[in-house]
Structure 1
Amino acid sequence: MSATAFDFEKARFNMIEQQIRPWEVLDATVLALLAEVKRETFVPPAYQALALSDLEIPLSHPAVEGECMLAPKVEARTLQDLALKPTDNVLEIGTGSGYMAALMGRLARQVLTIEINPTLADTARANLARAGITNVQVKTADAAAGRFAPCVSEAPYDVIVLSGSVAEVPTDLLELLRVGGRLFAVVGEEPIMRATMVERSGEASYHSEQPWDIVIPRLRNFPEPSRFRF
């Protein structure tokens, strides 16, 4: 084994034991998946040495604000909270490098992931193909356009994941969930944002929980509440 490969395996072990487990991610399936899907192969070459570090990784060089891979512990905790099943039909908004889609693709039946930046979408497709992930479709589109029209093709969804923060969860998006389905989003304004899980419990009823706090970059073009005050 080369020194480089050895270093990555040691860093992966440290990531799981020192970053992931302390964040209350103890699900054996999730931990095994993090060991199997090589995160460094989804990171731009300029930042590859940082791939398993406890930080957000820029998706381009030079870095573009808001375009990043989320910290490993955030992706792992999200994956654990979603409790994906082999029958799940999943929508992700904010593909980035394709890493989160790859993790979900290993657990779910199929994943549609939407990326607004055409260059990132192309990179994600290449990364997923290289990783042998065949049940993930990457669509280049502004997911929020036309009341989420680009998301409708594969609806209803068992799971919707927003891989970026939003001010609030749009009703139009919740309506794409199957009854019994769940949506994950990070909701709020800096410095306070909360991981939010919304379950569609009936045709017009929803139940939400906010189990942990984290601040992550905004998704582009999602509705922002009016800041006007009388």
Structure 2
Amino acid sequence: MDARGDDRSLCGGRLSVLNYRLSREEMVLTQLERRGIRDPRVLEAMRKVKRHHFVEPAFRDRSYDDTPLPIEEGQTISQPYVVARMTSLLRIQPTEKVLEVGTGSGYQAAVLAELAHKVYSIERHMVLMQKARKNLEEQGYRNVVLKHGDGTIGWAEFAPFDKIIITAASPGFPKTLFGQIKDGGLMVFPMGEKRTQNLILVERKGDEAETTDAGAVSFVPLIGREGWSGSSYD
């Protein structure tokens, strides 16, 4: 069994441990590979990270379904395909430093931690940040640094970053975060209206941004000084 965490504490025996492992394999095959995810490092990260440790207990039997699931504070944990898709677009290398905006329960951060040298992640809900920290520590991730705060203004102390991922919907182009990417670095984020957005991939070339539309998505709002205000999104 993987040394990270003990599934027996969640599910009570060897059979359930095996079931979770088989569910992850099926998820990778049917939800990711068959839908075009090809990066072998991303696929291996998705196999290794135990999503059932990052979902609410009431939804644990749906941990490897191809769907987002609710977590606390009205937020969600993204569906596995979207996590893999956004991660693949960033082409993360083992030596790189990555910023995540919107930690949630910590699942995306765990996937990033399998690929990057260091992950910095910002969460505006204290309850979620504390739970994510517990989840990540229990699973043995030591290369993730968490912060409670406004992710829309980034983390200047540790900038510039090789890659940035924003896991909530921005109403416009995130200029401050763009300014915290290294020249030649990448940023991926959803941008658009309240209910539906498009996934945008940005490559920084000097002071210019080269953007690519990576398809339609639907995310919870990015709240903060340079995102939506809570009232404007209601």
Partner of 1:140: 148
Distance in 1 (CA, whole Å) between partners of 2:227 and 2:133 is 28
Partner of 1:196: 200
Say if 1:168 and 1:187, in contact at 8 Å, map to a contact too: yes
Q: TM-score, normalised by structure 1?
A: 0.88
Give the AA of the match of 1:96.
G
Give the AA of the match of 1:99.
Y
Give the AA of the match of 1:209.
T
Deviation at 1:128, TM superposition (A): 0.8
Matches within 5 A, 1:1-230: 2-60=14-72, 64-65=73-74, 67-144=75-152, 148=153, 151-190=155-194, 192-202=196-206, 204-221=207-224, 222-224=226-228
Bigger mean CA offset, 179-188 vs 12-21? 12-21
Deviation at 1:220, TM superposition (A): 1.6
Give the AA of the match of 2:193.
E
- SS for the counterpart of 1:132 is coil
Deviations 1:60-109 (A, max 9, x none): 3xxx43x0100000001111111101121111110001111111112111
Give structure 2 stretches of 5+ with no counterpart: 1-12, 230-234
Deviation at 1:26, TM superposition (A): 1.6
Deviation at 1:2, TM superposition (A): 2.0
Say if 1:111 and 1:136, in contact at 8 Å, map to a contact too: yes
Distance in 2 (CA, whole Å) between partners of 1:186 and 1:169 is 10
Partner of 2:5: none
Give the AA of the match of 2:203.
E
Residues 126 and 191 (structure 1), Cα distance of their counterparts in 2 relative to 1, 3 Å cut: closer
Give structure 1 stretches of 5+ with no counterpart: 226-230
Distance in 2 (CA, whole Å) between partners of 1:199 and 1:119 is 33
Give the AA of the match of 1:219.
L
Deviations 1:16-53 (A, max 9, x none): 11211232112111111111111111112221111111
Distance in 1 (CA, whole Å) between partners of 2:228 and 2:59 is 32
Aligned length in residues? 216
Distance in 2 (CA, whole Å) between partners of 1:75 and 1:104 is 10
Q: TM-score, normalised by structure 2?
A: 0.87
